Structure 1
Amino acid sequence: MEFKEDANNRLSEVADLQRTEIRGIFESAVDAVIPRKMMERVLELSSDRKTLTVEGKEYKLNKNLNVVGFGKAVMGMARCVDDLLRPHIVKGAISVPYGCRQILTNAGKSDQVLEADSKITVYEGARNNLPDTDAHDAAKAIWDLVKDSTQNDILLVLVSGGGSALLPLPRLPITLEESAELTRILSTHGATINDLNIVRKQTEVLKGGGLARDAKPCKVICLIISDVIGDKMDIISSGPTVHDPSTPHICLDIFKRLSVDQLVPKSVTEMLTEKISAYTKTQQKLREYAHVQNIIVGSNVIATSAAHKTAVSQGYVSTVLSTELDGEARSVGTMFAKLARYMILCFGYLRSDVGSEELATVELELCKYLPKKVLKQMADVSDEAHNVGKSVCIIAGGETVVNVRGNGKGGRNQEMAVACAVELDNIIPTRLSDAYQVTFLSCGTDGQDGPTTTAGASVNIQFVKQCEESGYEVKSYLDNNDTFSLLEAVNSGKNLLNTGITGTNVMDIQLLLINPL
């Protein structure tokens, strides 16, 4: 009995330690992609403060700088620019989410908020991340500023995720209401995000390279914080400064494929038809963007790299699994649980506690989720950790989706964490759960997960049993997409991670810790 008590105490200590460490690793990932740090990495000002160098390209400053921006992380980006280049800023306009200034201030992040005497005007709009009249007014102000640029001006464009909703400027004769209706029709008839982006770029003034074209002949520097897999610049905020490879013809093909060609507003079809007839004469050329320097200043790669560095400093053998995770959150959570079992069996095999046949069976099952070369990478990590007597930290990033079937409250990260816990409980036998501690975290770098105030959650191998002991049936909460309610109720909410709004957004981070006891 005394031996069992000691074992339980040891398990509890390890669980608490891993909860603290995994959160520290995540916070280091977020800290690495705070706007100011990312901006300062690429903006280099000469000692006389008259020359700005951006990735090797020089720009002469002489009170000739205009600033525009749009996105969830743009307030912090603009503050950094204002602090660094204020003497040369003539005017500016940024479009940020409604309430952004107050939220950041309340969160103690006033250093990410523009000061009252800044020459950069702040517009707040896009309530609930949807285009509205406030965002439309901001887009018009940005367009006016862009069109007024001269050959001697430098236009600094700040872009981050969420910019599409914050920069709505439909091409005439399409109205803002018709543009919103178009998005609603496409979204409810199976349009992919790629379909939506193509239509936005072809039916709006500033997207699909429109902002950069209208800024001619001034020089344009565009600094981008990426929130999309693969950091595709023509996708982030619908690519306002990037050559658009799509054509207006494709929009009509999308409408036909989705069987909505009779549902879309008439003004949209008319505008696209006119654009098609003119397109053959005035096709976009890449040379139209010779005056533009587009730079990814922040991405999930930077965040995961920082997490890796922190994990190593904490004594883990660490590796980055992927920075392009996508798919259904519940399925990805299941994959991480299966990966944890595989890593445990690799440890066990090296300890001669597990046979090669059992390991091969699990490896074959995991091949449905991960390529063989990745499993080889994971096996090498286990081998290294075993040889040096350390625990393992597996890091990943990306953005998943939730197939909503219930009416509960939660987000993709909380759903992924609970799904991982359920699968861990299903597939890790007692003989292994008594010998290894497993902790999994999934959180959004923007500090928000779905319609909740939490960034995400962490769970361990004991989570499901703790829920059951407290009278909660985990699967019913998962099936009702009500993971927030479950996580809030169990362990006094300790499994939830509340960072508050971070002021940045480079998708999500997942961390998996495996610790031999």
Structure 2
Amino acid sequence: MSETPSITERALQIWHAGVKAVDSEALVRNAIQVTDNELTICGHSIPIHDQKKLLVVGAGKAGSGMAAGVEAAVKGSLLEKQLLGWVNVPADCVRPLERIHLHAARPASLNEPTAKGVFGSKQILQQISSLSPDDICLVLISGGGSALLPAPLPPVTLEDKQAVTRLLMSSGASIQELNCVRKQISEVKGGRLAEAATCGTLIALVISDVVGDPLEFIASGPTVADTSTPDEAAEILKRLVKDPQQVPATVWEVLENNRKPSSELKKSYQTRVINQIIGSNATALAAAKQTALELGYEIYSMGSENEGIAAEIGVELAEVCLEFYAGRGPIMRPACVLSGGEPIVDLSSTQNPGKGGRNQEVVLAAMQRLWNEEISNVCILSGGTDGEDGPTDAAGGILDTTILQQAYTLQLDPDAFLKEHNSYPCLAACNGLLKTGATQTNVMDLRVALVQ
């Protein structure tokens, strides 16, 4: 007779079901249908013939799986021999494919633009600008694409762009604020990749990692007309960076020289540009809910658009669990609380921030809130669906009664670790890290809390 799964095993099962639902290869494969005469992508049909080239380019943490999905979808068709491509991905996502080259544009767990990323972006620009009007371009976009598709607008250098990215991230910039600045100093972001294309039809398949799924913010919208302005980017930098002189002079120069908002993709000829979202946090949340229902839980969903401060999200999750544990919640036990979105960690609150990520900080804050509570049969799990949480090898963290007891035994002080944003060593010491490796998808974070 098999043993009954523990509460933590059930939480993991629910979380993994959510991640599986946004498997990048399956999402792309299901979006593409090919017949002898026609290519259909998300309902958009394009006639095909022997001479038509299908170029696949893109960038993102889900790029490897997405590219594999394209190859699987066209295998055995007329288009298979016409397929070629280049996609920038993290180093740990590189694998051999038959027709599409996967380029290691940055090391694993380093979410910053690199020289290899710039090289890959230039290759993509060269290929996309060498197409004929009869050709088709398929752009694969997913979370992490901003850092994986760097093409600084001269005279901005890679080092300048890295410095600005670090400044904004350490100042608690939202993804929207970060992308606004990135777009204004890039040759590809803010629709400029689509502007460079010389094909007749360009279709972007997008896996969203941004709250609300706004196309222009996902990977900084390389195929979407930019609605932000250089003035807005300058305002963000002035507001978030305490010392404006820390911002490279070249960045201020580009923002000053390009104070002309772009309301549409400027092309000298007609190219049909189609952007299609094929997966999002809501997709993962729905699958997690279905699995939780099958396991016998009542569901309390906090939705897929939760932002704010990571530590506050953790406290809120713990408070909800305490309410359900006491029988005061809107649903009865056994209860499953689901939450999606992407909070931030404001590192400016300490001069020497430690090691961790937003999901680990969520769990550490929940640990602090539950530290003196008499509670059992509760599990709180928070994980990045991409398998990465900050500059660490963990996807996030887990808290259950055993982990909490281990923290007690080791006399860990969650408050002290929280003040230094040092969640990783604390959770590592009490076996509270969630490690999955790269999942090759990315739809922000998924949180699962169970109360038996």
The TM-score bracket by the shorter chain reads 0.7 to 0.9
Contact 2:358 2:390 survives alignment (8 Å): yes
Task: Choose the corresponding residue for 1:91, options 65, 84, 87.
Answer: 84
Pairing 1:285–2:264 present: yes
Relative to 1, partners in 2 of residues 1:407 and 1:301: Cα closer, same or farther, differing over 3 Å?
A: same
Contact 1:157 1:220 survives alignment (8 Å): yes
Q: Tell me the amino acid that sits aligned with residue 500 of structure 1.
A: G
Task: Choose the corresponding residue for 2:40, options 53, 57, 61.
Answer: 53
In the alignment, what sits opposite 1:419? 365
Give, in angstroms, the shift of residue 475 of structure 1.
Answer: 3.5
Give, in angstroms, the shift of residue 42 of structure 1.
Answer: 1.7
Q: Distance in 1 between matches of 2:230 and 2:178?
A: 13
In the alignment, what sits opposite 1:122? 102
Higher Cα Rg: structure 1 or 2? 1
Relative to 1, partners in 2 of residues 1:269 and 1:499: Cα closer, same or farther, differing over 3 Å?
A: closer
Q: Distance in 2 between matches of 1:197 and 1:155?
A: 24
Give TM-score, length-normalised by structure 1.
0.77
In the alignment, what sits opposite 2:425? 485
Relative to 1, partners in 2 of residues 1:199 and 1:32: Cα closer, same or farther, differing over 3 Å?
A: same
Give, in angstroms, the shift of residue 20 of structure 1.
Answer: 1.2
Deviation track 1:339-365 (CA, whole Å, cap 9, x = no partner) reads 1122233x26xxxxxxxxxxxxxxxxx
In the alignment, what sits opposite 1:275? 258
Q: Which deviates the most, 501-510 or 90-99?
A: 90-99
Give, in angstroms, the shift of residue 70 of structure 1.
Answer: 0.7
In the alignment, what sits opposite 1:77? 66
Give TM-score, length-normalised by structure 2.
0.87
Contact 1:425 1:462 survives alignment (8 Å): no
Per the alignment, in what secondary structure is the counterpart of residue 502 of structure 1? coil
Give, in angstroms, the shift of residue 461 of structure 1.
Answer: 4.7
Per the alignment, in what secondary structure is the counterpart of residue 324 of structure 1? coil
Structure (1 or 2) with the greater helix fraction: 1
Q: Distance in 1 between matches of 2:68 and 2:246?
A: 43
Give, in angstroms, the shift of residue 267 of structure 1.
Answer: 4.0
Contact 2:54 2:83 survives alignment (8 Å): yes
Q: Tell me the amino acid that sits aligned with residue 121 of structure 1.
A: H
Contact 1:68 1:142 survives alignment (8 Å): yes
Instruction: Note the aligned Cα RMSD (angstroms).
Output: 2.8
Q: Tell me the amino acid that sits aligned with residue 423 of structure 2.
A: T
Q: Distance in 2 between matches of 1:396 and 1:187?
A: 23
Q: Distance in 2 between matches of 1:33 and 1:152?
A: 32
Q: Distance in 1 between matches of 2:249 and 2:112?
A: 22
Give, in angstroms, the shift of residue 31 of structure 1.
Answer: 1.0
Q: Distance in 2 between matches of 1:68 and 1:212?
A: 11
Report 1:123-142 matches (<5 A): 123-127=103-107, 128-142=110-124
Q: Which deviates the most, 58-67 or 238-247?
A: 58-67
Where do 5+ consecutive residues of structure 2 fail to align? none
Per the alignment, in what secondary structure is the counterpart of residue 284 of structure 2? helix
Q: Which deviates the most, 449-458 or 64-73?
A: 449-458
Report 1:29-428 matches (<5 A): 29-46=18-35, 48=36, 50-62=37-49, 63-85=52-74, 87-101=80-94, 113-115=95-97, 118-127=98-107, 128-184=110-166, 192-255=174-237, 257=239, 264-276=247-259, 279=260, 283-285=262-264, 291-345=272-326, 347=327, 379=330, 382=331, 385=332, 391-404=334-347, 405=350, 408-426=354-372, 428=373
Relative to 1, partners in 2 of residues 1:441 and 1:254: Cα closer, same or farther, differing over 3 Å?
A: closer
Q: Distance in 2 between matches of 1:45 and 1:51?
A: 6
Contact 1:421 1:463 survives alignment (8 Å): no
Give, in angstroms, the shift of residue 487 of structure 1.
Answer: 3.0
Identity %: 36
Contact 1:61 1:88 survives alignment (8 Å): no
